[in-house]
Amino acid sequence: MKIVVLAGGYSPERDVSLSSGSLIANSLMRSGHQVLLVDAFLGIEIPENTDPDGLFRVAGDPEYSYKIPETAPDMEALKQLAYKGSLVGKNVLTLCHRADIVFMALHGAMGENGQMQAILEAENIRFTGSTHVGCVLAMDKDITKKLLRAEGIPTADWITLDLRRDPLPETAPLPCVVKPCSCGSSVGISIVHTEEELQRALEEAKKYEDLILIEKKVSGREFSVGVLDGKALPPIEIIPKTGFYDYKNKYQAGATEEICPAQLTEDERVTLQFLAEQVSRVLRLGAYCRIDFILEQTEGVFYCLEANTLPGMTPNSLLPQEARAAGIEYDELCKAIVALAPPAGTV
């Protein structure tokens, strides 16, 4: 098959996405596919009189590589590189039309909020992962939590602020977690214990968007559960060596201890996997996703933190580790994700 791996994009998570996309592209090349890694935001120049099909790489060609920096990208500087002011770069859709399928390796922003999926659906282009509807429901943390609460799935108490019309609050129930409503990879998230920290946290979150979530802090063990084709994979426990599971701890090698399969009782494992499958169903997610939880230390209740429609596929990412624990190696996982993608036009 001819496959475009769509990564990068205009998002604070673009570096993570480019790392995921490189690994995915190399895997698909090893499996015998013709592959082209495309930055959804920057696009690709196609020289005059060049056949676009010649841009696709095959096994034996140079492999793709990308190392994630320790800090999130400068979004203002990136904005200056936009192609005609568009979120979709030059020749991106042209190349997607040349492919048999688009492997979605985007993270955050238009890659996970449904915008890119809606464009591909409108263009009748086949792609992996969730439809634009599932992405909309999962990316907005306020909508996610309302749906989970309605279905009886535990999630921490929260309030939502729209800073376009709501003033910054001077206080909030402490301790709490402040986060942008629609970012992933822990971008813009702060753990708050004092009113002074609250103001700094709100200003930090506001850098990324005006809709902000203030959530009651739940203390306990943190877990993540991948769901593949409707079935939960073995849970993984996440133990940062310092601080919490923030951007740096997620993507820098050695910063976090990850135990897979997680050390749980049989009842806990069954409960956690059941909840992950339920979250995937409630949010109408696609063939694969990853759901994050905290096991509250006094109540013994699994609280859902969020759903990830396009989980990271970097060397340190959780979903590949969980798949491996289930006997699914990385190349097999990538092939399964491609095979599970619905035909174009079935939205």
- Residues acting as catalytic residues: 13, 185, 251, 290, 292, 306, 308, 312
Query: What are the angstrom distances between the C-alpha of 37 and each of 44, 157, 169, 176, 326?
Result: 10, 40, 44, 39, 28
- Backbone torsions φ then ψ of 179, nearest 5 degrees: -150, 150
**Tokens describing residue 8:** 């990068």
Angle at which helices 318-325 and 330-339 pack, to 10 degrees? 100
CA-nearest of 285, 245, 261 to 132 is: 285
Residues in the chain: 347
Q: Running DSSP on this structure, what letter comes out for residue 54?
A: G
Amino acid at 281: R
Backbone angles phi, psi at 274, to 5 degrees: -60, -45
Closest to 35 in 3D by CA, of 16, 15, 60 = 60
Bond prior to 261 in cis (omega within 30° of 0): yes
Residue 306's nearest CA partner among 133, 127, 177 is 177
Which amino acid, 301? V
Residue 276 has phi, psi (to 5 degrees) of -60, -45
What does the block give as tokens for 338?
Answer: 């491609």
Q: What is the dihedral of CA 42, 45, 51, 57, to 10 degrees?
A: -50
Residue 107 C-alpha from the chain's centroid: 5
